[in-house]
Each structure stands twice: as structure tokens, then as C-alpha cells.
């Protein structure tokens, strides 16, 4: 029988939930696309691939599947540990996303904000847009249409909206910092008092669950 101290799920800073049990290390990640769903994967094989074990539309059901994958099919009490030091258990009466919201977390699919770029005076807008799209893509972001803010002795100051596809659970107080790191890695300027929009439009918990294999012989 799985001990409660063995049934621990940890939220990583990258938005993934990880469980390490007798069956190995499994991870839970939000995958967006035509069918947005939570995917349980792992353990990582010799070739470096992590097979898909199960998926669910809602986080509540997905945590159950993650627990079964890592700790076995028998019902266990799951302890979810958060980066802030708080923790909560499953199963429970309060929906998991309500708990996360109360602790300052939310499920998102992207982070949106603004970045600054200094160009040589007189650089055509199309050239600026081309550079911004290229450097943003190199850092995993997408850039919108840049706008000229002002020109001074240093050059032309441009601002552009950027979107970073961060998917998973994130702490609201650190969301802007995550986007700021991506902007700086792209070689762009973080605009002072940047407003960071964390956009998540996923169902809190629905009954649609898809098991891709039996947990009785999962390894």
C-alpha cells in the first residue's frame, strides 16, 4: 500500500507537476492545440522520449491520473506541494483550481506584455518588425506590430507587444518576471511598469477523461 509520504506531487517553476513513485517519475503538463488537455507523461525512456500515459481535460481529473501513474491504481491521498511553500491534498471537496487561485496561482496558456527596442534613427518600420519577429522567435515568443514611441539622440525607440507561450500553473506574482526573462533573453528591453497579462481559458474541471493505457500494468 502506498504511504501518504510517498504520494507527493511537486509543482515546478516551469509550470509542470511532477510525481516520483514506485513506477518512476511522471509529469503532468498542459498541452494546447486543437484539443487542449493535460498530458501525463513518463518515465523517460533510453531514447530520451517520455511516453504519453494518460490525458484529461480538467486539472482535477489529471491529478488523479498522475497519482495513479506514479503510485499505482489504488486510491491514495495526494499531497501537492507548491513553490511558495504551501501544500494541499487530493481528493478534496474544494476544486483544485479554486485552491490554486486562493494561493495566488492560475492555469495559463500564454503570457502577454510589451518590450522595447532601440533602432538606428530612420530605420524603416518593416525592417524593425523583421528584426523584432526574428529575435522574439529565437526566445520562444511571438511579436506583434511595433509602434514608434519617440526619437531622440540615442535613436528611435520602438515598443512591441510580445506573447510567451507559457502553459501550466504559474504564480501570479511571478508571471511578469517570467515574461521579463524571456524578453531579456531576446535582447529586448523590459518596459518599466510593464503590465503582464496571464491569459488562461481552460475548463476548471470537466468529466471528459481519456486513459491511453491500463494503469494495472503501467511502468
**Is residue 123 domain-resident?**
yes
- In this structure, the answer to whether residues 139 and 86 fall within a common structural domain is no
Structural domain count, the chain: 2
- In this structure, the answer to whether residues 18 and 47 fall within a common structural domain is yes
Using 50, 70 and 90 to split pLDDT, how confident is the model at 218?
very low
- In this structure, the answer to whether residues 60 and 124 fall within a common structural domain is no
Q: Which residue has the higher pLDDT, 216 or 46?
A: 46
- In this structure, the answer to whether residues 43 and 57 fall within a common structural domain is yes
- In this structure, the answer to whether residues 192 and 127 fall within a common structural domain is yes
Average pLDDT, the chain: 83
* Centroid of chain to Cα 119: 32
- In this structure, the answer to whether residues 79 and 151 fall within a common structural domain is no
Q: Please state the rounded mean pLDDT for residues 35-51.
A: 82
**Is residue 8 domain-resident?**
yes
- In this structure, the answer to whether residues 113 and 85 fall within a common structural domain is no
**Is residue 219 domain-resident?**
no
- In this structure, the answer to whether residues 65 and 120 fall within a common structural domain is no
Q: 40-47 long-range contacts, Cβ below 8 Å, gap at least 24? A: 40/65, 40/66, 40/69, 42/69, 43/219
Q: Please state the rounded mean pLDDT for residues 1-8.
A: 58
Using 50, 70 and 90 to split pLDDT, how confident is the model at 197?
low
Residue 80 has pLDDT above 70, yes or no: yes
- In this structure, the answer to whether residues 143 and 171 fall within a common structural domain is yes
- In this structure, the answer to whether residues 99 and 114 fall within a common structural domain is no
- In this structure, the answer to whether residues 67 and 93 fall within a common structural domain is yes
Q: Which structural domain, as residue segments, surrounds residue 170?
A: 108-199
**Is residue 216 domain-resident?**
no
Give the closest residue to 115 by CA, choosing from 101, 93, 135, 138. 135
- In this structure, the answer to whether residues 140 and 183 fall within a common structural domain is yes
pLDDT > 70: percent of the chain: 84
CATH number of the domain within which 133 lies: 3.30.70
Separation CA 2–CA 165 (nearest Å): 36
**Is residue 217 domain-resident?**
no
**Is residue 154 domain-resident?**
yes
Residue 206 has pLDDT above 60, yes or no: no
Give the closest residue to 106 by CA, choosing from 93, 114, 97. 97
Q: Which residue has the higher pLDDT, 193 or 125?
A: 125
Give the closest residue to 8 by CA, choosing from 110, 60, 87, 80. 80
Q: How do residues 135-189 score in pLDDT, each as one tens digit?
A: 999 999 999 999 999 999 999 999 999 998 888 898 888 888 888 899 999 999 9
Amino acid at each position: 500500500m502506498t504511504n501518504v509520504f510517498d504520494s507527493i506531487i511537486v509543482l515546478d517553476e516551469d509550470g509542470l507537476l511532477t510525481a516520483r513513485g514506485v513506477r518512476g517519475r511522471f509529469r503532468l503538463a498542459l498541452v494546447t492545440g486543437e484539443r487542449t488537455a493535460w498530458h501525463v507523461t513518463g518515465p523517460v525512456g533510453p531514447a530520451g522520449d517520455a511516453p504519453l500515459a494518460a490525458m484529461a481535460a480538467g486539472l482535477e481529473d489529471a491529478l488523479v491520473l498522475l497519482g495513479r501513474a506514479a503510485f499505482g491504481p489504488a486510491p491514495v491521498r495526494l499531497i501537492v506541494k507548491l513553490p511558495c511553500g504551501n501544500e494541499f491534498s487530493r481528493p478534496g471537496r474544494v476544486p483544485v483550481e479554486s485552491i490554486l487561485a486562493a494561493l495566488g496561482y492560475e492555469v495559463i496558456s500564454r503570457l502577454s506584455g510589451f518590450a522595447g527596442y532601440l533602432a538606428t534613427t530612420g530605420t524603416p518600420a518593416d525592417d524593425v518588425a523583421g528584426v523584432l519577429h526574428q529575435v522574439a522567435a529565437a526566445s520562444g515568443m511571438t511579436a506583434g506590430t511595433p509602434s514608434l514611441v519617440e526619437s531622440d539622440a540615442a535613436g528611435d525607440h520602438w515598443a512591441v507587444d510580445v506573447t510567451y507561450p507559457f502553459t501550466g500553473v504559474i504564480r501570479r506574482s511571478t508571471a511578469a518576471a517570467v515574461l521579463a526573462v524571456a524578453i531579456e533573453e531576446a535582447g529586448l528591453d523590459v518596459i518599466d511598469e510593464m503590465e503582464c497579462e496571464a491569459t488562461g481559458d481552460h475548463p476548471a474541471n470537466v468529466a471528459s477523461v481519456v486513459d491511453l493505457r491500463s494503469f494495472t500494468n503501467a511502468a
